Structures are given as C-alpha cells and as structure tokens.
C-alpha cells in the first residue's frame, strides 16, 4: 500500500508518528511525487550520513527549508542567510559570529538568562498562573535579539509578524496570504534597519556590529539583504525551538507522572529531560538540501538537483538507533549519536545557547513553582510542515 506522506496535510498531522514508522519500516527513501519528486529520508542513520558534510553530495545554496525544497518558493527567511551557503562560503559567513556561540562564550550569558527568566516569571507568580511557552519565548527572544543588537520593542514586532507567517490553514498549502503579507512587512522592516545600522552601528560585540564593520573575508562584505536575512533567521531559530521544547516537556511530564516525580526529586536531570524532549518530539519537522550528484540509497535512484528532506521527528523515534524509542524516559543513557541539533558543518550554531536556556529557564520555573497543574483545555499545539509543538502551555499553582 502506498504511504500517504504529505507534510502539509492535516491527515498527516493527526497521525504523524504512525506514518513516520511506516516510512522507516517500508519506504525509508520516500518519493514525494506531489512535490516535484522530492525525497524524504526518515531513518536516523540515513539522515546522519547526509549531514556528514560532503558538499560534493548535497548543496544548501538553493535553500534548506520546506518552501524552496518542496514548493519552489525561494522567498522565505532562509534564502539569503548563513545556512544557505556551502563550503568555504558557509564557513566564512558562519565565522562572522561563531565566536559568540562557543560553549565558553555562551556560559557567560547564564546569569543574564536567569535574571530574564526571574523577571518574566514575576507577574505570573502574583496571579498564580503562567504560560510556560510564553515565558520561554520572551527569554529566548530577548537573549538572541540582544546578541544581534536589535532593540526589544522592534524584536517583539518582528516576532509578531513571524508568528503570523507560521500560521497554517489546512486548506492552504504552506504560507497563507496573511502570512505572506506579514513576512513581507518583516523583511521590509529588517531591510530598513540594515540601512540605518550602517549609519548608526550598534556597539561591539553585537552581531550587527560584526556584520557591518568586519569583512567576511578579504574583499567580501555582507550586503543589507544578507543582514536582513540573517537577522530574521536568528529571530526565528533563536526564539522557537527552546520554547516549544520546554512547553512539550511539561506536556510529556504530565503524560508520564513517573518521570515528573523523578525530575521533581532530582533537578540535576533537567538537562537530560530537555534532551529527551528534543529527541522524543523534535520541534523542527523538516530541513533538507538538494543533491549535487546522482545517488542511490536503499534501491532508490535519486538525481542531481532533486530535493532531499530530513525528517528529524522520525529519526528521533527510530528503533534502529534508540532502545524503546516511543518511551519518554528522562533517565535514558546519553545517546552515542544525536542529530537533535544537526550534525556536520551545518550543525546548529546555537546548540550551546539552546541547552543553556533550556536548563536555566526550567530550573527557575521548577524552583518557583514546585507544584502546579496543567490547564488541559487551554493547551494549543502548533501543526505545520516546519514547526510543531505546544505554543500555549498554561499552568496554575
């Protein structure tokens, strides 16, 4: 029987875990005929190998997100950003800010992140109710935009527009007309700011200062359009995955009271709980690349120029890689391999920041609110081809 995998379909969203398993077991290199013959890799090992970094095999230049790879739409936020480069270009553009994301550099932000979390918690503690996702969202957003050099009121406006961009309608393939309009407004705002920043550059060590005052390499400077793309890309990646993961963690703790009790009795397991949540329900459904050459995998012949997408949620539940993968277990031994934050030269630049934010935000929430109850009737989960997770996770105490 043909597997019906359509990442834009509500039928898929409603039954994704079973469809992922069907793909892994029966069609691990799945041809998406309705999407120009793109290929979907669903097994951990295949996705791991695809990330190893041979630019002879894959290219990111034509995009890494669903719009360009599946719909031929190159107008998205990642089209002119750091990830959409290969080889030396990718390395050099990434290196313009990479020193800010080393583990040692990120560790210097711990106190700031903790104070941000405490401040965002204060109003809710007085009311006896908070939205876990909203707390994490603001902390993550202000952390990344402070690093960029973007004023917080502008960051909130940009984030509001990006949220509209990611709204999904089951009757619309991909971005809605309202989302397209909001995205255009966001890009226009960022482009205007890029021009203004050249006249009045935020101080070092902000990303904007690095992008404007330093060459990418000898004779190469970032354009306003690239600054626009990178700023938007970081607002998205820096303020989505951590909040979704933290909200998802609260959901799965509620569904697994034994794990909730374990974590309550041993807060040192918070980092492990964060990692397990990313594995168990990865907030990023899809990223991918295009083939730079013909390739055969599991008997399927793929052609140069074909889109290949990586199903991270599926990989995290692959029984070929993880024991009892459908069990949420915060005491799970540290995996030998992980692609929760990618792998190879395109590995997530912000992995250390994400882990630090996750740990600190959760530490402060659990310290301030040791006993709480989820408001199940108010929980809302985002469904979409790119991002999934709980965007509303209210708790009362």
Please give the domain boundaries of the chain with CATH numbers for all domains: 10-396 (1.10.630.10)
Each residue of 121-175: pLDDT tens digit? 999 999 999 999 999 999 999 999 999 999 999 999 999 999 999 999 988 999 9
pLDDT beneath 70: ranges in the chain: 53-54, 75-79
Each residue of 4-28: pLDDT tens digit? 899 999 899 999 999 999 999 999 9
Q: What is the pLDDT of residue 155?
A: 96
Q: What is the pLDDT of residue 293?
A: 95
**Edge-to-edge order in the sheet of strand 58-59:** 29-32, 38-41, 307-311, 286-291, 58-59
Q: d(Cα 150, Cα 201) in Å, to the nearest integer?
A: 11
Counting other chains too, the contacts that 39-43 makes at CB distance below 8 Å and 24 or more residues apart are 39/300, 39/302, 39/306, 39/307, 39/308, 39/309, 40/5, 40/308, 40/309, 40/311, 41/297, 41/308, 41/309, 41/310, 41/311, 42/311, 42/314, 42/315, 42/318, 43/314, 43/315, 43/318, 43/320
Q: What is the pLDDT of residue 77?
A: 53
Distances (CA, A) of 176 to 167, 179, 276, 285, 322: 7, 5, 33, 19, 37
């Amino acid at each position: 029987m043909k597997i019906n995998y359509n990442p834009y379909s509500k039928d898929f969203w409603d039954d994704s875990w079973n469809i992922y398993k069907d793909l892994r077991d029966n069609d691990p290199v799945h041809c998406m005929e309705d999407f120009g013959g793109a290929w979907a890799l669903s097994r951990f090992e295949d996705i791991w190998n695809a990330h190893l970094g041979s630019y002879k095999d894959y290219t990111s230049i034509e995009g890494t997100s669903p719009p360009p790879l599946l719909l031929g739409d190159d107008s998205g936020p990642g089209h002119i950003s750091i990830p959409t480069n290969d080889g030396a270009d990718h390395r050099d553009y990434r290196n313009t800010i990479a020193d800010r994301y080393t583990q040692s550099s990120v560790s210097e932000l711990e106190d700031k992140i903790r104070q941000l979390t405490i401040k965002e918690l204060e109003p809710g503690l007085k009311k006896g109710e908070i939205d876990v996702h909203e707390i994490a969202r603001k902390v993550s957003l202000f952390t990344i935009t402070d690093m960029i050099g973007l004023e917080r009121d502008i960051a909130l406006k940009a984030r509001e527009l990006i949220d509209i961009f990611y709204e999904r309608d089951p009757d619309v393939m991909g971005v809605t007309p309202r989302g397209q309009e909001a995205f255009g407004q966001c890009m226009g705002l960022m482009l205007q700011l890029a021009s203004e920043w050249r006249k009045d550059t935020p101080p070092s060590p902000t990303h904007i200062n690095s992008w404007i005052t330093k060459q990418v390499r000898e004779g190469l400077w970032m354009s306003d359009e690239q600054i626009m793309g990178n700023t938007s890309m970081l607002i998205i990646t820096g303020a989505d995955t951590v909040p979704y993961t933290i909200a998802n963690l609260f959901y799965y703790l509620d569904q697994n009271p034994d794990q909730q009790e374990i974590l309550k009795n041993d807060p040192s397991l918070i980092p492990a709980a964060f990692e397990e949540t990313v594995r168990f329900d990865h907030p990023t459904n899809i990223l991918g690349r295009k083939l730079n050459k013909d390739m055969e995998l599991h008997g399927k012949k793929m052609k140069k120029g074909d889109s290949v997408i990586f199903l991270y949620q599926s990989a995290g539940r692959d029984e070929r890689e993880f024991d009892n993968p459908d069990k949420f277990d915060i005491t799970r031994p540290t995996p030998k391999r992980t692609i929760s934050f990618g792998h190879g030269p395109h590995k997530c630049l912000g992995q250390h920041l994400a882990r630090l934010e996750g740990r600190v935000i959760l530490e402060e929430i659990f310290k301030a609110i040791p006993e709480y109850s989820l408001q199940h009737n108010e929980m809302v989960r985002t469904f979409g081809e790119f991002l999934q997770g709980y965007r509303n996770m209210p708790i009362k105490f």
